[in-house]
Amino acid sequence: MRAALVSAALSFAALPAFADARITVLMDLLKVSEVTEILRAEGLEYVSELDADMLQGQGGDFFAVQTDQIYETGRIAETVRQALENGLSDADLDALIGWYSTGTGARIVDLENAARSAISDPAVEEAARTGFEARADADDPHVALVRQFVEDNDLLTRNVSGAMTSNYRFFTGLADGGFYEQSEEQILAEVYAQRDEIREDTESWLNGYLLMAYQPLSLAEFEAYVAFSASPAGQSLNAALFDGFETVYRDISYALGRAVALSARGNDI
């Protein structure tokens, strides 16, 4: 009996490690490390725009060091890991690892990442937006599947909400850092005033990106992916990823606002 109890205790003690290992497997299949590098590259490009637009190109070494740390890929990946651990059940992990271990699942990850990297080029982004618009009124099965995918996963609402939260956090960081004086009510009013513009821009970007990413798929492959994304495991993954990346962007946006403010104050001194 004692030996059995010891064995049981050891077995239960191993469960968290096994779960951690499966989260690592899923993150590898989703190529989260590659995603974090893409987001870092996007972020540092945005930092250059902030430096030019808000600091007159005078951010200097302080701003460069601060923003380099803000977009540290290890921290982004760890935040996503925590969201996956909190949001996925054992059954979800089984289904997700099974799906993304297939050739179609792996190809979809590669297509998504390649499209996300490419669309950071303004010319590619414009081509993606206009490409969707040109096909939007036609009887195009890929366009129909993009729309179904967006609806099934609530992508437009979630992305608009995330963008507005990020804007709020950025303005709050600016105010807390002393860049300007604005009350929370003023910041909220400014953010909500942009809601319709954000929604229109997000919808255009999202449709263009998704069509560009999934166009190489056959209809059968795309239909299978849309169906899987609507499954319980697919919905759990979608929710967990949004939770993780919304936390990432919320923290990044506030930190960027403070970094801009502190850099501006340093230059004034």
Domain ranges across the chain: 2-268
The predicted structure's pLDDT at residue 118? 97
Q: What is the pLDDT along the chain (269 residues), one digit of tens a residue?
A: 334 334 444 444 444 445 579 999 999 999 999 999 999 999 999 999 999 999 999 888 999 999 999 999 999 999 999 999 999 999 999 999 999 999 999 999 999 999 999 999 999 999 999 999 999 988 899 999 999 999 999 999 999 999 999 999 999 999 999 998 889 999 999 999 999 999 999 999 999 999 999 999 999 999 999 999 999 999 999 999 999 999 999 999 999 999 999 999 876 54
**Residue 12 contacts by C-beta under 8 Å, 6 or more apart in sequence?**
none
The predicted structure's pLDDT at residue 107? 97
Per-residue tokens: 120:
């950071």
Name the burial class of residue 92, with classes exposed (0-12), middle (13-18) and buried (19+) by CB atoms within 10 angstroms of its CB.
buried
What is the rounded CA–CA span in Å between residue 101 and residue 25?
Answer: 10
The predicted structure's pLDDT at residue 138? 82
Name the burial class of residue 29, with classes exposed (0-12), middle (13-18) and buried (19+) by CB atoms within 10 angstroms of its CB.
middle
